[in-house]
Amino acid sequence: MSYVPLERLIDKSHGSMFKLVILASKRALELAEGSPKLIEVPPDTKVTTLAMLEIAENKVEMGKSKAEVK
Query: Total domain count for the chain?
Result: 1
Q: Given this model, what pLDDT does residue 1 score? A: 57
Q: Given this model, what pLDDT does residue 11 score? A: 87
Radius of gyration for the alpha carbons in the chain, expressed in angstroms and rounded: 11
Proportion of the chain above pLDDT 90, given as a percent: 63
| Alpha helical stretches, state H, the chain | 6-10, 17-32, 47-56
- Chain segment 8-30, per-residue pLDDT in tens: 888 888 888 999 999 999 999 99
CA–CA gap between residue 26 and residue 18 (Å, rounded):
12
Residue 17 in any domain: the answer is yes
Q: Could you tell me the residue range of the domain that residue 30 belongs to?
A: 6-61
Residue 48 in any domain: the answer is yes
The CATH number linked to 28 is: 3.90.940.10
DSSP 8-state symbol, 11: G
Residue 53 in any domain: the answer is yes
Q: Given this model, what pLDDT does residue 25 score? A: 95
